[in-house]
Amino acid sequence: MTSFLSRRAFGTLLLLPLLTAPVQAAEQAVCYNCPPEWADWGTQLKMIQARLGITVPPDNKNSGQAIAAMIAEKAKPVADVVYLGGIAAGQAIDADIIAAYKPAQWDKIPADLKDPEGRWFTIHSGTLGLFVNTAALGGKPVPQSWADLKNPIYKGMVGYLDPTSAAVGQLGVMAVNLALGGSYETIDKGIGFFKDLQKNDPIVPKQTSYARVISGEIPILIDYDFNAYRGKYSDKAPVTFVIPSEGSITFPYIMGLAKNGPNPANGRKILDFVLSDESQAQWGNAFLRPVFTEKLSAEAAAKFLPAADYARAKPVDLGKLGLAQKSIVERYKSDVN
């Protein structure tokens, strides 16, 4: 009996380290404004999990909502990294919510597509235009210009993201403004266009609306080329992309390290990854233009509109656009809303 108890006690002692050892926590990080349905973030989040072993939950904020949340959470940050429309770069710096970090391959990023101190950098860009579900037009012609959107035949069919918070909505105001002869300093033409467009009962969502275009709920959306190409080539939807005849702009999307985020090491690994050859190639396969343009494969490039169409789209001046952001929001609220 004594021998049995001794053996049992000895066995229990051997098990104690297994019973009391701490459970290894899964690596995680939080990225604000990384919606799976936008810019192929769904694939990128899976790649981050597979390559880095870091779980990043999807987040459906837009740029304005991400910045507002980070400001509200300054005392106890939640985000580790943030993805923003380039127009929001200055706002993020002024709010002191992003920290300096120069990721791997930093030196290869063009100077005008990064903050010299490392607080933000471009990962890819897109060209703004018309994302159109041709089957949802009810036999009406595909619009070819900004002016066409005001035609009464498209009443209740045109959508754009809310310029009071979404970067793509703010960019839409400026794209139209510049195309119609305005400037970064004078936005009357852009504001006037959206004021006139209200007569056509536009749909103005606050969040990314890719699925609503694919379903036909929003037949025409002011949006990026990469979403339209994804719909056409990946989801086989009856959609097309138009760069308006008056012109448009190409816009960078940026990332930065959240200041005092809870998982800074993982945040830095993610920022390194999105500039890696593998990630940059995947952005290209998702029809975005990677910041390292040579990573856009010939196969993906062949699915874009011809170069002659893209000649109508000019690179945006991020500095001037950033200075105009407050005016875009305020004028839209006062003159259009």
What are the distances in angstroms from CA 14 to CA 3, 5, 8, 19?
Answer: 17, 14, 10, 10
In a domain, 19, yes or no: no
Is there a single domain that holds both residue 305 and residue 320?
no
Tokens linked to 24: 């290894």
Q: Are 318 and 201 in a shared domain? A: yes
Q: Examine the domain organization and report whether 244 and 322 are in the same domain.
A: yes
Number of domains, the chain? 2
Q: Which residue has the tokens 């793509």?
A: 168
- 299 is in which domain, residue-wise? 31-125+251-313
Residues 217, 319, single domain; the answer is yes
Q: Does 178 share its domain with 309?
A: no
264 and 325 belong to one structural domain: no
Q: What is the largest CA-CA distance in the chain?
A: 97
Question: Are both 200 and 151 inside the same structural domain?
Answer: yes
pLDDT of 189 reads: 98
Spatial contact of 162 and 169, defined as CB atoms under 8 Å apart? yes
Q: Does residue 301 sit in the same domain as residue 323?
A: no
Judge if 135 and 116 occupy the same domain. Answer: no
Contact present, 216 and 136 (Cβ < 8 Å): yes
Structure tokens at 84: 């923003």
134 and 177 both lie in a single domain: yes
From residue 208, how far is each of 60, 64, 281 by CA, in Å? 8, 13, 23
- The answer on 102 and 59 residing in a single domain is yes
End-to-end alpha-carbon separation of the chain, Å? 86
Note whether residue 109 is domain-resident: yes
Check which CATH number belongs to the domain holding 77 and give it: 3.40.190.10
Cα–Cα distances in angstroms (integers) from residue 313 to residues 154, 163, 182, 247, 249, in the given order: 24, 20, 15, 6, 5
What's the confidence (pLDDT) of residue 48?
A: 98
Q: Average pLDDT by consecutive 10-residue portion of the chain (337 residues)?
A: 41 40 67 91 97 97 94 98 93 97 96 96 97 98 98 98 91 97 98 98 92 97 95 96 98 96 98 97 95 95 95 93 94 96
| pLDDT at residue number 166 | 87
- Residue 7, domain member (yes or no): no
Check: CB of residue 282 under 8 Å from CB of residue 43.
Answer: yes
What one-letter code names the amino acid at 322?
G
Does residue 135 belong to any structural domain of this protein?
yes
278 found inside a domain: yes
What letters, b where the CB count within 10 A reaches 16 and e where it falls short, cover 314-331?
A: eebebeebbebbebbbeb
pTM of the predicted protein model: 0.81
Q: What is the rounded (10 degree) CA torsion for 247, 230, 283, 320?
A: 30
pLDDT at 222: 98
What pLDDT, on a 0 to 100 scale, did the predictor assign at position 9?
A: 42
